[in-house]
Amino acid sequence: MCRSPSQRTRPPRRGARQKGSVVVDLSESAAAAPPLLGILDGKFRLEPDEVAALRQQHGLGEEELLARLIQPAAQQARPPISSFHVGAVGLGASGALYVGVNLEFARLPLYNSVHAEQFLLVNALHHGEREIRRLAVSAAPCGHCRQFYSELACAETVRFSFQGGSYSLGQLLPMRFRPQDLLSDPPPPLLLEQQDNRIQLTSAARTELAQRSHDPAFVRAAAEALAEAVGSYSPYSRCPAGVAIVTAEGDVYSGGYVESAAYNPSLPPLQTAIIDAVIDGMPSYTAAREVVLVELAAGAVQHALTTRVALQQIAPQAKLTVLQAEWIPGAEPETP
């Protein structure tokens, strides 16, 4: 969740009121620009033509449209620990609108949480968006998210709107730790750009896949987890990974590992797959019956143990299957 402890515990300012677990701003400025209700209603993306129609219908500029959707977006958050709903709304270069919310996981350490701004980026990534032009949040993004957004190829141009102002990432984090500080300059493809980690399943993993060829949901999950690993963003560890979640109904949701130059803001593949599941309406984590993880057999960064621990708490009924991968011969990355 992308708020400092002081912002979480501070009582609502004058002109604001607690409505359930969402702080509703009732100040004069908010009253003049009420939230646009009934637009999202469970949706986490609006097509470019929907965005254009909304702007025309309500006579809104881009920033005002985003600001008036923050509160409805926040209603879709899942914060069982803090009960503090956070929403972020952004526009991609395609013209599509993306929603992000905070996710917290009961009985797990707080560092497993997903911040609303991170959710928004993964949402855009899953839809093939190559650039986020601007986003609106209800308060200043925390340092964690500012650092996470430093991974974007469009980091120099993305705009953040909050509390009546619009800011560049350079203004919010002027002396930030950048990908170029660890990678070559110019760096390899950055976040939201096309990734191609040339890996394949090991012989043992392919044998396990063949043995379960009668299970179409598992076969699909294995293929999606591998594809997510191939497309994952792991330029620092060179340890691509992907996860696919299979539900009892046979639905499959997937996500890939996303790294940060500062390491800690990185998002494990389980969290990005959960984002995909939330976007598509999976009502509860207990709907998962199996989770398929693809990762390097000899990777310096591995997710199997932490994924198992997380599942024991949020989806204890789910089986974890780890399919190990390896670099395609000749495609191994150079040692830094």
Q: List, as one string, the DSSP characters of 206-252.
A: HHHHHHTTT-HHHHHHHHHHHHHHHT-B-TTT---EEEEEEETTS-E
Phi, psi of 78 (to 5 degrees): -130, 80
The number of beta carbons lying within 10 Å of the beta carbon of residue 202 is: 15
C-alpha 89, offset from chain centre: 13
Name the active-site residue from 50, 63, 117, 156. Answer: 117
- Please confirm, yes or no, whether 63 is among the known catalytic residues: no
All residues at 6 or more sequence positions from 179 whose CB lies less than 8 Å from its CB, including other chains: 150, 151, 187, 190, 235, 261
Whether 273 and 304 have beta carbons less than 8 Å apart is answered as: no
Closest alpha carbon to 132 in 98, 165, 100: 98
User: CA 3 to CA 19: how far, in whole Å?
Assistant: 19
Q: Which amino acid is at 300?
A: A
Q: Show which residues are catalytic.
A: 117
